[in-house]
A and B are shown apart, each in its own frame.
Chain A
Amino acid sequence: MSQLFYDAAPNATRVAPEREPERVYPDKPEAVTLFGTCVVDLFFPEAGLDAIHLLEREGVRVHFPQEQSCCGQPAWTSGYRDEAKAVARAQLDILDRAGLPVVVPSGSCAGMFRHHYRALFADEPDTLRRVEALAERTFELTEFLLKVCKVQLADRGAPSKIALHTSCSARREMNTHLHARELLQQLERVERIDHDHESECCGFGGTFSVRMPEVSGAMVKDKTRSLMDSGAVEMVTADGGCLMNINGSLEKQKESFRGRHLASFLWERINGTSEGEAA
């Protein structure tokens, strides 16, 4: 930056860019808790199971507390703070009981643990300490595979062209686009194709999609059009909400193009088949 700007504000000489410090990753743990997320639980369970397979392949034992439900995001983004907080507290208690690192196969839910729980519990210093600890040990799936497990993927699939969609909150809060790209790059016979306005929102936004169906619908139509026009044969994403939005819209439009969860895609590429899907 030019000297002029540094000298501009008397009390702010040399303002360092305020970025989140590069995350320091721990060594690969023996065991983790998988937080499945409510959308994966009910609509894409095979992706959750494939995530478990991927983790186990790295020699990580997976713990899945049966008491878990939802991270609280739907109520939080809809303005229902008390309800979101009650659900968040329940998850916090469950995840604290095991005390293990938490892996989440959905960027926006991981972002909820890492960023938004702080805002929810800002008025409770004791809880906030536990929230900070949870934030510290929460990882989005692709991040965990790449940065903590330092996974090496051997591609056994046929040559394919795919498009990658990263959810907005995942990209902005969790850098998911970079992690997913790096993982896909390891797959020798997979070509990742850029699509038009790739970084633009797919229009999901939780309750936005039902409160503003006209605008949300226009956004998802544009997104599906650009995905189909990209020349890719399918779309992969690491976020359940976007996947539900994009696939639901494609089905409504009677298009055959589909998206699928990155966990299932990766598992299939390294095995030639997705076990989760068979289940």
Chain B
Amino acid sequence: MSQRIPVTELPSDFRGRAEGALADGQLRNNFRVAMDSLMSKRANAFPDADEREGLRELGNRIKAGALSRLPDLLEQLEQKLTENGVKVHWAETIEEANTLVHDIIEARKGNQVVKGKSMVSEEMEMNDYLAERGIECLESDMGEYIVQLDNEKPSHIIMPAIHKNARQVSKLFHDKLGEPETEDVNQLIQIGRRTLRQKFMEADVGVSGVNFAIAETGTLLLVENEGNGRMSTTVPPVHIAVTGIEKVVPNLRDVVPLVSLLTRSALGQPITTYVNLISGPRKPDELDGPEEVHLVLLDNGRSGAFADAQMRQTLNCIRCGACMNHCPVYTRVGGHTYGEVYPGPIGKIITPHMAGLDNVPDHPSASSLCGACGEVCPVKIPIPELLQRLRQENVKAPEQPQQVKGGGAKFSRRERWIWRGWQMLNTRPVLYRSFLWAATRFRALSPKKAGPWTENHSAPVPARRSLHDLAAQHLDQNGGRPS
């Protein structure tokens, strides 16, 4: 089985999708090779551990500080952008955001949209929404273009087509575009580039995401490496930027360390090829640039995370993807297994606020809590700690107060009783020692199958004597007990 099947046709649960992905040797190899390379690129980009840790601390403080006055900053951002001639729109849900975008395109009687890479637009499923209304929406980021051509979803937030190797892309271009097969990456890029150039010139509207929205100056900052972001935001007569409400930072000075953290953590780059600072539409004396610029600010569950002091840290995220690059689970199952827009560790902590835990009940469990993600996060989101919190929310009884949307999705009275039993065993020494005695004495009778454990392991057989037993005997003989 291969993940070239459109995501919607994959099994409905995480474990089912994971099983398929794990059996796909090509897919696993593609991810392993790519993630290994990204990990070493990041490591090389931070040669000085003290500098790296200081910068991460700074990044954390800037983001946490910005979030601590989020409502004020958003208000300031709106005011400044409006002064700059940018129209600001607010959307609580993805439906509202899509309607807003559609209305803007309709007002211009547009039917062709060209998109720079934007995860928020993926969150909105904007392409499908617009396509249903007769508007063609073309992805202009090379990776996004590839997955769109193959009717797939991105499998990584920075490198959407990372699950494919050059041969697979070549075959896709051959099948869909009639191009001769080649594994030369430069040639493949030229093929995409030819198609896209024309579209930039024809598009009525350009859509982009935003990396940082700067409140003090009303500036939208966008980093990219392909120039497609600059084309999408400057060539078409209308530019619509879509972003989440957590992207606002107080001032331009703040973005210097944040951009450095972002590009070094994501791809090991000191800076991206393009850094776009967008501060309004074309002015009367200017020669180019869009006539209209819009910003759609999307909530989509973010304010739910914001309301919880611990969960709020989720919103520190600057979308670098380092957590997935370093995740042993993501590396093995790939992005599509997560079944949602944001995969990997960040996906596991942010998706519950968007979709509700009941829609992604396996997300918090799909981690060994190894801590690799938290260790590399450039803004120090304690991802394992938040996963653990989500596990607590996941098993809450219906009668308990729910603090996360869709909480209690994994509640099971039977499982709760098992843990109560475990608690009793471990808080009553006589009971615990009796258990040890029985388990060691009747070790030959221990079950040959132990649920899912014995799928991967031999059945665990207790030792002949417990440490309690061995230690007591040894210390009695040696007089090791303190008086």
Stretch at the interface among B72-80, B94-102, B149-157, B460-468: B460-468
Q: Does A9 contact B (CB under 8 A)?
A: yes
Q: How far is the CA of A274 from the CA of B432 in the complex (A)?
A: 27
Residue total for A at the interface (Cβ-Cβ under 8 A): 89
Residue total for B at the interface (Cβ-Cβ under 8 A): 87
Flag if B426 contacts A251 (CB, 8 Å).
no
Q: How far is the CA of A58 from the CA of B32 in the complex (A)?
A: 45
Given contacts A63-B482, A215-B333, A220-B456, contact A69 B429 (CB under 8 A): yes
Flag if B467 contacts A214 (CB, 8 Å).
no
Flag if B365 contacts A211 (CB, 8 Å).
yes
Q: Which of B61, B369, B422, B440 contacts A9 (CB 8 A)?
A: B61
Interface centre among B364, B366, B468 (most CB of A within 10 A): B468
Which B residues between 450 and 474 are near A, CB-CB below 8 angstroms? 451-458, 460, 462-463, 465-472, 474
Q: Does A42 contact B (CB under 8 A)?
A: yes
Q: Does A201 contact B (CB under 8 A)?
A: yes
Q: Does B370 contact A (CB under 8 A)?
A: yes
Q: Does B368 contact A (CB under 8 A)?
A: yes
Q: How far is the CA of A249 from the CA of B459 in the complex (A)?
A: 10
Given contacts A12-B61, A213-B456, contact A66 B480 (CB under 8 A): no
How far in angstroms is the closest Cβ of chain B from A251? 4
Flag if B58 contacts A15 (CB, 8 Å).
yes
Q: Does A25 contact B (CB under 8 A)?
A: no
Q: How far is the CA of A41 from the CA of B257 in the complex (A)?
A: 49
Flag if B254 contacts A9 (CB, 8 Å).
yes
- Interface flags, A37-56, vs B, CB<8A=1, else 0: 01011111110110010001
Q: Residues of B contacting A264 with CB < 8 Å? A: none
Q: Residues of A contacting B184 with CB < 8 Å? A: none
Q: Residues of B contacting A67 with CB < 8 Å? A: 429
Stretch at the interface among A80-88, A141-149, A265-273: A80-88
Q: Residues of A contacting B429 with CB < 8 Å? A: 66-69
Q: How far is the CA of A221 from the CA of B455 in the complex (A)?
A: 12
Given contacts A9-B61, A77-B388, A213-B456, contact A45 B470 (CB under 8 A): yes
Which B residues between 375 and 402 are near A, CB-CB below 8 angstroms? 375, 385, 388, 390-395
Flag if A248 contacts B458 (CB, 8 Å).
yes
Flag if A7 contacts B22 (CB, 8 Å).
no
Q: How far is the CA of A169 from the CA of B365 in the complex (A)?
A: 17
Q: Which of B55, B394, B457 contacts A5 (CB 8 A)?
A: B55
- Summarize B's interface: helix, strand, loop or mixed: helix
Q: Residues of B contacting A204 with CB < 8 Å? A: 368
Flag if B22 contacts A42 (CB, 8 Å).
no
Q: Which of B50, B253, B364, B457 contacts A7 (CB 8 A)?
A: B253
Q: How far is the CA of A239 from the CA of B51 in the complex (A)?
A: 32
How far in angstroms is the closest Cβ of chain B from A220? 6
How far in angstroms is the closest Cβ of chain A from B236? 33
Minimum CB distance partner of B327 in chain A: A201
Q: How far is the CA of A199 from the CA of B395 in the complex (A)?
A: 31
Q: Residues of B contacting A213 with CB < 8 Å? A: 452-453, 455-456
* The 8 residue pairs across chains A and B that have the minimum distance between CB atoms: A205-B368, A248-B457, A79-B391, A17-B53, A201-B370, A168-B370, A251-B458, A217-B456
Q: List 19 A-B contacts (CB under 8 A).
A: A5-B54, A5-B55, A7-B253, A12-B65, A42-B466, A48-B467, A48-B471, A52-B474, A56-B480, A63-B480, A64-B467, A66-B429, A83-B420, A204-B368, A210-B453, A217-B455, A217-B456, A251-B457, A276-B470
